[in-house]
A = this chain, B = another copy of it.
Amino acid sequence: MTNDTAWAPPADVTPEQACPIAPVVDIVFSRWTTPILWVLHEFGRHRFVELERRITTITPKVLTEGLRRLERDGLVVRTYHPEVPPRVEYEISELGRRLAPLFAALAEWSVNLGEVEQARLDYDARKPISSRRT
């Protein structure tokens, strides 16, 4: 329970993120990256259309953007097969595979989703009763 009123910045912290895990979050959990990585991680190599079909609600444009970013970050490997019709395959990289423990932790925490749902119901139920100055 660290809680001094006088507080000095740790000095090794960039103004942008007060927490060291923020950069990781930006890389791994920016929009659409989670479904893409998850699919690649769980079901192996995929072609473009296969990914489109797995992640039913994604549009080609957004899928491309996501894949490019992941490729750039070294989490996904793109392989182009010069055939007709062209074939491109995406798979998770070795670096990306190191996310496995993280995904495992995520999946494990999902057992708590029920409690979150309940918390929301509770909150919404008692919220209307005055603009809570309590």
Contacts and interface: CB of A to CB of B under 8 A. Distances in A.
Copies per complex of this chain: 2
A20 interface: yes
A34 to B, nearest CB: 5
Interface string A55-66: 111000000000
15 contacts: A1-B45, A3-B43, A15-B57, A18-B35, A18-B39, A19-B42, A20-B110, A21-B34, A21-B106, A25-B34, A71-B123, A72-B119, A73-B120, A80-B134, A102-B105
A128 interface: no
Interface in A24-72: 24-25, 27-29, 34-35, 38-39, 42-46, 50, 53-57, 71-72
Nearest to A133: B80
Interface residues of A, number: 67
Interface in A88-134: 95, 98-99, 101-110, 112-113, 115-116, 118-120, 122-124, 132-134
